[in-house]
């Protein structure tokens, strides 16, 4: 919302550079990393995390923020009573979780058919609940691996808590020393074992962003988004994929981050797993973590084709990073093995991050995208959605409004989808 900051740009490519700088600095000053060292705000005010500390906003301003995000007045009143936190991010997380918990599918026990059908492996994920606690579903948990747990330091007790909850083993992270880009969990209770590699949305690496960033669960640092939109990198033709298909080009920054992570142990780890043949490898990513997971999957499948269908890619809200020829190669190598979810609302609004950078400058969306309705959990193939249109240069609605409404709505959508497609028996 405009009261918070972010970048109020309808079309970056038609915006003046100095206007973008102003918007970027405004976002930087208003909303960035969560700062746990803040002082308690005055009564009747709320804290919005700021780059140089915490910005105290009055009640009227925050009511306007909530209203622009689609929360009713009664939602805000209830949130103020139900949580003691004065951080607006915590309030948003609390409200979206409560919405998902209150949601009851209209046709309990009769899942809505998905068109086109999801790959069998993903349908199984959607239908899986935690044996210890059937109210917890695997689908939103895998989203949280990238959206939340990838931010946490290796020694955080949260990793072990989650591992114990699902009978998994936390294996640590990969990336540069001060910028870990992916964390790994394994499930050895299955044969073959499931390996979950979750890529962080953070640009510079999760652990640089610090442990406290994870407390802003799922709220992508606005200043990082500003960096992306302010100066989008061009497609780079000097990449490993041109050896497999002429003309391949990829987003320069995505390739740079991927190469560093791949060369700092992740490549060897994944290729060893793929060659050994005793594991099903899941590469997961939310937001900027999506392109990181997808490009790693493409290189792994190209270099170790024998991995076959044991490689799966599951992403949410990832931006574009490939050109037409890379998209063709991706489809050829990873058909039915990769799915990206695009948050949607009202049937006509879609997460604008998935339409950036624009196709007008040569970028293509990753194949096999599915719309995920944030309010109903309904899943529909983007290729079959009647009104699907999602390109940054053609967005009719305010980019910033859609970002707040949809790019931060994946946890809610995942929880509701899990309840809709895998409902508990009536007795439970």
Quote the tokens at residue 379: 């899943």
User: What is the predicted pLDDT for the residue at 47?
Assistant: 44
User: What is the predicted pLDDT for the residue at 389?
Assistant: 79
- Measured between alpha carbons, how far is 153 from 141 in angstroms, rounded to an integer? 18
The residues, ordered by sequence, that sit 6+ positions from 168 with a Cβ below 8 Å of its Cβ are: 162, 185, 186, 187, 196
- Measured between alpha carbons, how far is 186 from 170 in angstroms, rounded to an integer? 7
User: What is the predicted pLDDT for the residue at 375?
Assistant: 86
- Measured between alpha carbons, how far is 41 from 131 in angstroms, rounded to an integer? 42
Is 70 in contact with 409 (CB distance < 8 Å)? Answer: no
Quote the tokens at residue 179: 């910028």
106: left (phi over 0), alpha (psi -120 to 50) or beta: alpha
Collect the ranges in the chain with pLDDT lower than 50.
1-56, 106-109, 205-224, 427-428
User: What is the predicted pLDDT for the residue at 48?
Assistant: 44
User: What is the predicted pLDDT for the residue at 301?
Assistant: 98
User: What is the predicted pLDDT for the residue at 258?
Assistant: 93
- Measured between alpha carbons, how far is 333 from 46 in angstroms, rounded to an integer? 49
User: What is the predicted pLDDT for the residue at 84?
Assistant: 62
User: What is the predicted pLDDT for the residue at 396?
Assistant: 56
- Measured between alpha carbons, how far is 124 from 121 in angstroms, rounded to an integer? 5
User: Over the stretch 266-275, which tens digit does the pLDDT of each residue have?
Assistant: 999 999 999 9
User: What is the predicted pLDDT for the residue at 148?
Assistant: 83
User: What is the predicted pLDDT for the residue at 154?
Assistant: 78
Quote the tokens at residue 314: 């599951």
């Amino acid at each position: 919302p405009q009261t918070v900051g972010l970048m109020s740009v309808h079309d970056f490519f038609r915006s003046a550079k100095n206007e973008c700088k102003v918007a970027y600095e405004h976002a930087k000053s208003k909303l960035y990393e969560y700062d746990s060292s803040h002082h308690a705000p005055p009564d009747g005010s709320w804290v919005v995390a700021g780059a140089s500390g915490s910005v105290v906003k009055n009640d009227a301003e925050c009511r306007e923020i909530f209203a622009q995000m689609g929360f009713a007045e009664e939602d805000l009143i209830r949130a103020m009573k139900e949580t003691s936190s004065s951080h607006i991010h915590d309030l948003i997380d609390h409200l979206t979780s409560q919405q998902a918990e209150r949601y009851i599918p209209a046709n309990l026990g009769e899942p809505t058919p998905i068109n086109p059908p999801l790959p069998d492996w993903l349908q199984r994920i959607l239908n899986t609940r935690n044996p210890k606690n059937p109210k917890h579903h695997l689908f939103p948990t895998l989203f949280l691996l990238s959206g939340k747990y990838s931010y946490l330091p290796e020694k955080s007790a949260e990793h072990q808590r989650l591992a114990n909850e699902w009978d998994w083993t936390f294996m640590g992270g990969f990336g540069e020393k001060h910028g870990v880009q992916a964390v790994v969990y394994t499930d050895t209770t299955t044969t073959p074992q499931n390996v979950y590699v979750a890529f962080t949305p953070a640009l510079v690496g999760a652990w640089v962003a610090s442990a406290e960033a994870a407390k802003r669960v799922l709220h992508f640092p606005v200043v990082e988004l500003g960096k992306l939109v302010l100066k989008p990198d061009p497609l780079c033709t000097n990449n490993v994929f041109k050896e497999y298909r002429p003309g391949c080009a990829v987003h320069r920054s995505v390739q740079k981050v991927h190469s560093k992570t791949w060369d700092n142990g992740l490549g060897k780890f994944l290729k060893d797993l793929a060659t050994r043949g005793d594991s099903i490898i899941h590469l997961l990513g939310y937001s900027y973590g999506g392109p990181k997971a997808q490009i790693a999957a493409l290189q792994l499948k190209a270099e170790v084709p024998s991995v076959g269908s044991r490689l799966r890619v599951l992403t949410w809200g990832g931006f574009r990073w490939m050109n037409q020829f890379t998209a063709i190669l991706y489809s050829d190598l990873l058909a039915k093995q990769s799915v990206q979810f695009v948050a949607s609302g009202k049937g006509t609004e879609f997460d604008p991050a998935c339409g950036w950078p624009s196709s007008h400058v040569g970028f293509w969306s990753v194949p096999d995208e599915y719309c995920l309705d944030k309010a109903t959990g309904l899943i529909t193939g983007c290729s079959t959605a009647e009104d699907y249109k999602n390109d940054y240069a053609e967005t009719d609605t305010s980019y910033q409004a859609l970002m707040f409404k949809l790019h931060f709505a994946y946890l809610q959508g995942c929880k509701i989808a899990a309840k809709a497609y895998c409902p508990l028996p009536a007795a439970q």
